[in-house]
Amino acid sequence: MARKKNVSKENHERWLVSYADLLTLLFAFFVVLFASTQTDKAKAKQISEAVENALEHGTAPARVLAILGGAPDDKGRGNAMLRGPAVRKPEPPTEAPAPRMLDLTSSVKLLRSQLSAETAQGSVSVHVEQRGVIIGLNSAVFFPSGGDAIDVHVYPTIAKVAAVLNQLPNPLRLEGHTDSRPINNVRFPSNWELSAARSIAMLRLLQERYGVVRERLAVVGYADTLAGDGNATEEQRAKNRRVDIVIVSDYGMRAEPEMNTTAGAVRKP
C-alpha cells in the first residue's frame, strides 16, 4: 500500500514579519533624528552662552566681534543693527534750548539818534514791540497821494535806516498800511494793492540801492485793517498811511518761515 505524501499548507501571514521589521527600522530612525536635534539644541545653547559671555567681557576675537555686532563700546556692525550687545538704547529726545533773544537795544538807540530830526518832524517814528523794532515811515512824506513812487528827497533818511539794517542779521518785514478812504484808479483798484505796492517799492529801494540782502526781506500789505487810532480825523488817517520797516526780534522770528542762509540771511531758531 503506497504512503500518502504529507503536503504542508502555505502560510499567508509571513508578510507580518517584514512589516514588523519595517516598523522597527522606522522607529529607530525617528529616535535617532530626535536624539540628534536635542544634541544640536544643547550645543547651540552652549555656543550662544559662550559667545555672549565673551562679548560681555571683551574676550572675543576682533573678527567675531565685527560679525556679531561689535563690543559694547563699539558702534556696531552686522547683527548689531538688529539685536545684540552692541546695540545702544535710543536716548530720549531732549528739548531744544530756548532761542537766545537778540539784543536790539543798541540798534534802537542808534536809530533814534540818527533819525532825531525826522522823528521831531513826525515823518519817522521808532518804537519797540515784542515782535521787534518798528520804524514807521509816514506815507504822506515818502509817497505821493495814491501812488507808490518814493520821493527822492527822502533818500537820505532811508539811507540812514539802511545803514543800521545792514549791521543786523535779523529778518525784515516791510508792512504797508493805508487809511480807510477807498481808492479806485487804473493801477490800484483797492487799498490792498496800494499798501502792497508801497511795501514792494521800499523793498526794491533797500535791496537795489542800499544793498540789503534780499533773503532777509518780506512784504506785507495790510490796507486799512490795522488802523491804530481810528480813521475819524485827518490826523488819524495820516498816521495810518505809512510803511513800517520791522526788524524782527528773536521772539518774532518764531512765527517766521525758515529762511535761506546761503546769502547771509537768518534761519528761524
Joined grid coordinates for residue 259 = 529762511
Give residue 192's pLDDT.
Answer: 93
Taking only the tens place, the pLDDT of each residue in 9-25 is 666 667 777 777 788 88
* Residue-number span of the structural domain to which 149 is assigned: 105-253
Based on the fold, state whether residues 127 and 246 are members of the same structural domain: yes
Q: Is 32 within the bounds of a domain?
A: yes
Q: Is 267 within the bounds of a domain?
A: no
Structural domain tally of the chain?
Answer: 2
pLDDT grade, residue 61 (50/70/90)? low
Based on the fold, state whether residues 118 and 231 are members of the same structural domain: yes
Q: Is 33 within the bounds of a domain?
A: yes
HSE value, Cβ hemisphere, 13 Å, CA-based, for 128: 12
Average pLDDT, integer, range 151-172: 92
Based on the fold, state whether residues 109 and 48 are members of the same structural domain: no
Average pLDDT, integer, range 258-262: 52
Residue 173 in this model has a pLDDT that exceeds 90: yes
Based on the fold, state whether residues 74 and 147 are members of the same structural domain: no
Average pLDDT, integer, range 86-109: 60
Give residue 245's pLDDT.
Answer: 93
pLDDT, greater one: 216 or 14: 216
Q: Is 77 within the bounds of a domain?
A: yes
Based on the fold, state whether residues 113 and 71 are members of the same structural domain: no
User: How would DSSP label each residue in 76-94?
Assistant: --GGGGTSSTTPPPPPPPP
pLDDT grade, residue 178 (50/70/90)? confident
Neighbours of 185 (CB within 10 A): 10
Based on the fold, state whether residues 34 and 131 are members of the same structural domain: no
Q: Is 264 within the bounds of a domain?
A: no
Q: Is 8 within the bounds of a domain?
A: no
Average pLDDT, integer, range 181-196: 89
User: What's the longest Cα–Cα distance across the chain?
Assistant: 167
Based on the fold, state whether residues 241 and 137 are members of the same structural domain: yes
Based on the fold, state whether residues 125 and 164 are members of the same structural domain: yes
Based on the fold, state whether residues 132 and 77 are members of the same structural domain: no
